[in-house]
Amino acid sequence: MKTDIVVRVCMGTGGIAAGGAEVMEAFKKLLKSKGLKAKIEKNCTMHKVGCRGLCARDVLVDIVVNDSKTTYQFIKPAMVERIIDEHVINGKPVEEWTVPEDYYLFHSKQVKVVLSDCGSVDPEDIGSYLNVKGYDALKKVVTTMSPAETIGVIRQSGLRGRGGAGFPTGTKWEICSKETSEHKYIICNADEGDPGAFMDRSVIEGNPHAVIEGMIIGAYSIGADAGYVYIRAEYPLAVERLKNALKEARQHNFLGKGILGTKFNFDIKIKLGAGAFVCGEETALIASIEGQRGMPRAKPPFPVYKGLWGKPTVINNVETLANVPYIIRKGAGWYSSFGTEKSKGTKVFALTGKIRNSGLIEVPMGIPLREIIYDIGGGIENDKAFKAVQTGGPSGGCIPSHLLDIKVDFESLASVGSIVGSGGMVVLDEGDCMVNIAKFFLQFTQSESCGKCVPCRIGTKRLLEILERITSGKGREGDIELLEDLARDIKATSLCGLGQTAPNPILSTIRYFRDEYDAHITKKKCPAGVCRDLLSYVILAEICKGCGACKRVCPAGAISGEKKQPHTIDADICVRCGACFEACKFKAIGKG
C-alpha cells in the first residue's frame, strides 16, 4: 500500500516563538538521515502552516498518514526523533504527546470561514491555496459576474466591516462603484494596533492569498485600478509572506494587466506603517500613504468619495476582505446562515488574558460569551474567579460576570457599553484591578493620540492623571464624577474615532465596578491588591516559621527577624514589590 505522509509544523509568529523553525529543521534532518527520503520521497510533503489558533500549545505538529491526522502539542526538536521512529516509521502515534481532548473542544464550538484554511495551507505556496479552490472565486467573478452582481452577493451576505465599526461592506463598495473617477483605490487596512489583538496578523501569516483574492474581487467590484495593503512594520513575517504571495499572484496573472484574460487591470502595493496606532484610522492611514504625517481629518468627505490622492477609495479590514472569496464561492445564503439577524457570519477574536486556552478563535456572531470563555477558552487560568472580559481594545469596554450570557454581536455588545471592535478579547480575573485596567488603556490612547485635536491630546492626559492619582491613593472626592463628565465631553468633541472612544474603558469600568473606584478613593484600598501604592504587606507572626526566605529576597532591607523567630516588615522601608509574598512558602505574608 502506498503511504502518503504529510508533516505540518505550526509556523505562525506564535509557533516560531515557541521554536517552530527548529522543530521543522529537526524533521527535515531526521527524515533524511533515517533514509526516509528515499522510501517515501514522492509521497511525503512537509510544509509550514500559519496559526491554527491554540497558540498556548505551540509548537503544534500534524502528522497526516493516509489522511488520518494526529496532532501533537508542545513539540521540541528533541522529541522529533521519537515521533518519526514510532509514528512515521512504525505507524504508532506517540500518545503521551498528542493533544488531549480539550484541544478538540477548543475547536468544536468554532465555525471557521476566514480561518478555514489557516493552519492547513502553506502560506508561502500558492499551489497549496489553489488546491483548496483558492482563486476560484476570483475566476468566477471576473469571467461570469458583473461588478454590480458581485456587490449584490456581498450585500446579501450581510458582511459588515470587521475592523470595528461594522459598516456594511456591500454598501461601501456600492457607493464607491457609483463614483466616476479616472482612478479608484482599494486599501486593505492591516494596521492592527489594539493591545492584545492579533487576528489580522494571523490571517495574513496563515493565508495571505485569501486577503489578496478578496482585495482583487473588491477592486473589480468598485472599478479600482490600484490597491495598497497598509501593514504595520512590526509584522515582519506577515509582510514577508504577503510580498511573496503578491509575487506568486502576479505570476499567475491574478494581478497585473489583463487579469485572467479579461480587460481588468489591477495591482497591489505594500505600504509599511511606521508604528502609529492612529494610522489605523482611515483618513490618517490615507495621509500616511500620501507621505504626510498620519493625522486624521474631518469627515465628510468620506474616503469612498474623496480618499487616497483625492480619489474614491474603499478601505477594508484584513478579515473583511478574507471573508469575500468564501462568500463568493459558497454563496451569500451560506454566509448569512451564520450569525444573528443584524450581525451575519463569523468573527475572529484574539482570546487572551487570564484564560486557559489563549489563542485565535473564530465563532459565529451571536454566540453566548459564556461559551467562548468556558467551552472554547477552557475557563480561567489557575481556577480563579472570572471578573470581566475587555472587548474592543482601547476603544471598547468591559463586560462583567453578570452579563456572561450576553450574545457576542455588534448590537448586543454595544447595548452593554462595549464593542465588538476589531476582535481583541482580554479576559480578566479576580486578581485584576479595574481602575488599573482603565489606566492601562488610557496610557495607551494618550501616547497614541496624534495631538491634532484638543480633547484627545489634553483631555486623555487629564483623564489619565486623574486615574493615576486614584491608583496612587491621592484620589479626591468627586473624581469619579469628574472622570465621567470629562469623558463624555471628550467623546462628544474629539475629531476621530480614537478620541471619541478613548474614554470608553473608563466609562465602562465605572459603570460596572464603581465600588472599586470608591474603595481606591475613600478607603485608599485596592480590592484586587494590584495598585502598589495602596498595598501593605504584613507578616502573620502565628504562621511565620522564621525561615528567612522573605528577608533574603527583600530588595529594600525592610524585613528583620531572628532565625526561627517570626519576622516583621518595616512599612516605612517596604517598597511593596511583593517579592516576600511570592517567596514565602507558608503563606505567612498578608497583602491588603
Residues engaged in binding other proteins (CB under 8 A): 276, 278, 293, 295, 297-298, 300, 446-455, 457-462, 465, 482, 486, 489, 492-495
Please give the Cα distance from 134 to 38 (Å, whole number). Answer: 31
Query: Please, what is the minimum distance in Å from the beta carbon of residue 234 to other proteins?
Result: 16
Q: What angle do CA 8, 14, 19 make, to 5 degrees?
A: 65
Whose Cβ is closer to other proteins: residue 274's or residue 541's?
Answer: 274
Whose Cβ is closer to other proteins: residue 370's or residue 469's?
Answer: 469
Which cell numbers in the block locate residue 399?
A: 463586560
Which cell numbers in the block locate residue 141?
A: 467573478
Cβ atoms of residues 298 and 184 within 8 Å: no
3-state SS class at 242: helix
Whose Cβ is closer to other proteins: residue 306's or residue 347's?
Answer: 306
Cβ atoms of residues 549 and 500 within 8 Å: no
Partner residues linked to 352 by β-bridges: 426
Query: Please, what is the minimum distance in Å from the beta carbon of residue 489 to other proteins?
Result: 4
Please give the Cα distance from 200 to 198 (Å, whole number). Answer: 6
Query: Please, what is the minimum distance in Å from the beta carbon of residue 312 to other proteins?
Result: 17
Query: Please, what is the minimum distance in Å from the beta carbon of residue 358 to other proteins?
Result: 29
Contacts of 410 (CB under 8 A, 6+ apart): 160, 166, 342, 343, 365, 419, 420
Contacts of 5 (CB under 8 A, 6+ apart): 40, 43, 44, 45, 63, 64, 65, 88
Contacts of 48 (CB under 8 A, 6+ apart): 9, 11, 20, 24, 122, 123, 124
**Can you give the length of the chain in residues?**
592
Whose Cβ is closer to other proteins: residue 98's or residue 493's?
Answer: 493
Whose Cβ is closer to other proteins: residue 278's or residue 350's?
Answer: 278
Query: Please, what is the minimum distance in Å from the beta carbon of residue 3 to other proteins?
Result: 58
Partner residues linked to 188 by β-bridges: 229, 316
> Is residue 425 within a helix (H) or strand (E), and if so which, with residue range?
strand 424-429
Please give the Cα distance from 423 to 425 (Å, whole number). Answer: 6
Please give the Cα distance from 590 to 192 (Å, whole number). Answer: 41
Whose Cβ is closer to other proteins: residue 265's or residue 447's?
Answer: 447
* Residue in this structure with the C-alpha cell 526566605, named with its chain if needed: 549
Query: Please, what is the minimum distance in Å from the beta carbon of residue 204 to other proteins?
Result: 26
Whose Cβ is closer to other proteins: residue 250's or residue 293's?
Answer: 293
Query: Please, what is the minimum distance in Å from the beta carbon of residue 448 to other proteins?
Result: 6
Whose Cβ is closer to other proteins: residue 181's or residue 500's?
Answer: 500
Query: Please, what is the minimum distance in Å from the beta carbon of residue 486 to other proteins?
Result: 7
